[in-house]
Amino acid sequence: MKFFKIIFIILLLPIVLALLNYWWIAYVGSKMILDGNAEKLKNRYVLVLGAGKEYRMGKRPNYFFNGRVDAVVALRKSQPNCKIIISGISDGNHYDEANDLKKELLTRGVKDTLITLDSDSKDTHASLKMFNKNYLYQPVIIISQKAHLCRALWMAKQMNINAVGYNAEGWPKREPNWFLIREIGARVKATLEIFF
């Protein structure tokens, strides 16, 4: 019986640690999200984290993509000349996140001269490393949906990047269960990337 208790604890421990990690990143990251007043943050760079325009299966539009475009347009009302860095993967097949985001922003009236593309960053950690390398010590507003944004802001804090977050709209109701499970795994990955 004692053997089974030990096995149970060994199996349960990673789950508990993953959930604690999820909560800690949410707690730290949420404190860095703007309350809606971006006026006081003029002259910051804006980093838009990548999202595919459409889901790989079918032609349903990606709410995350649309929300990030809307967030950039809304943010520009208080900061019309902010420099926008669009980060995202280009896999040569389905995904061309940075270029798709740029095309959509151009149709919404954002000037081409204000946009810089980063098509080489395959994930959030790579996007932040790129920003740190190319814009050292520059303050930045990161745009994404809340769950992803908390993770990005937590990572930025660990990397000594002067960042705040601007929340983009996501799913019309609440995120589906698969997204929560994915985000738990993504936060474990983020912690490993930062500390190891």
Parallel, antiparallel or unpaired: strands 163-167 and 84-87: unpaired
Report how far residue 76's alpha carbon sits from residue 83's, in angstroms, rounded to the nearest whole number: 10
pLDDT in tens, the chain (196 residues): 777 788 878 889 999 999 999 999 999 999 999 876 666 677 789 999 999 887 666 667 789 999 999 999 999 888 888 999 999 988 777 778 999 999 999 999 999 999 999 988 999 999 999 999 999 889 999 999 999 999 999 999 999 999 999 999 988 777 778 888 999 999 999 999 999 8
**Which pLDDT belongs to residue 20?**
97
Contact 134, 113 (CB under 8 A): no
**Which pLDDT belongs to residue 40?**
65
CB under 8 A, 24+ apart: contacts of 174-177: 175/147
Instruction: Identify the CATH number of the domain in which residue 27 sits.
Output: 3.40.50.620
**Which pLDDT belongs to residue 6?**
81
**Which pLDDT belongs to residue 73?**
94
**Which pLDDT belongs to residue 39?**
62
Report how far residue 119's alpha carbon sits from residue 71's, in angstroms, rounded to the nearest whole number: 20
3-state secondary structure of 144: strand
Statement: the pTM of the whole predicted model exceeds 0.85? yes
**Which pLDDT belongs to residue 55?**
66
Give the range of the structural domain holding residue 163, as residue numbers without chain letter.
2-195
Contact 71, 165 (CB under 8 A): no
Q: Count CA atoms closer than 13 A to 152's CA, side-chain side.
A: 28
Q: 17-33 burial, b if ≥16 CB within 10 A, otherwise e?
A: eeeebbeebbeebbebb
**How many structural domains are present in the chain?**
1
**Which pLDDT belongs to residue 72?**
95
**Which pLDDT belongs to residue 141?**
96
